[in-house]
Amino acid sequence: MLPDSKVSQLIGNQITGMSSAMQLFSGRDKVSKVIHSFADYTKKMIQLGRLDEVRRCFTMAAVLYHNGSMVVKNAIEGVYVYTLSPLLHTRQQHTNMKELLPVTLLRIHRHHLRTSAI
């Protein structure tokens, strides 16, 4: 399992556009703050139409979800997917954003949609 204190380091190493931002977080920062920053970056990439970077971010989020603690999983579900949900139904360069989601994140998104409709 990935230690919570390493989440910002892993994101910074894998998502080069986030490396300087993730260096600002120490291992003691709350995971939710790190994931919120990651979600904001992903949102910006969606708005700019940078699909390769969006795909890389979505993949990183899925890796964090699979290998993270319950705190990380809750942050991915409650912060990352929730923040990006309104943008997942937009189209960029003939691609629906939700088509880029890994299966795990797509399930979380669908669960959010079902529970918000109740």
Q: Which of 48, 47, 46, 44 is nearest to 101 (CA)?
A: 46
Q: Using one digit for the tens of pLDDT, what is the confidence trace for 32-61? A: 999 999 999 999 999 999 999 999 999 999
Residue 11 in this model has a pLDDT that exceeds 70: yes
Contact (Cβ atoms closer than 8 angstroms) between residue 76 and residue 35 = yes
Q: Using one digit for the tens of pLDDT, what is the confidence trace for 63-99? A: 999 999 999 999 999 999 999 988 888 777 667 888 8
Q: Which residue has the higher pLDDT, 87 or 117?
A: 87
Number of Cβ within 10 Å of residue 15's Cβ equals 21
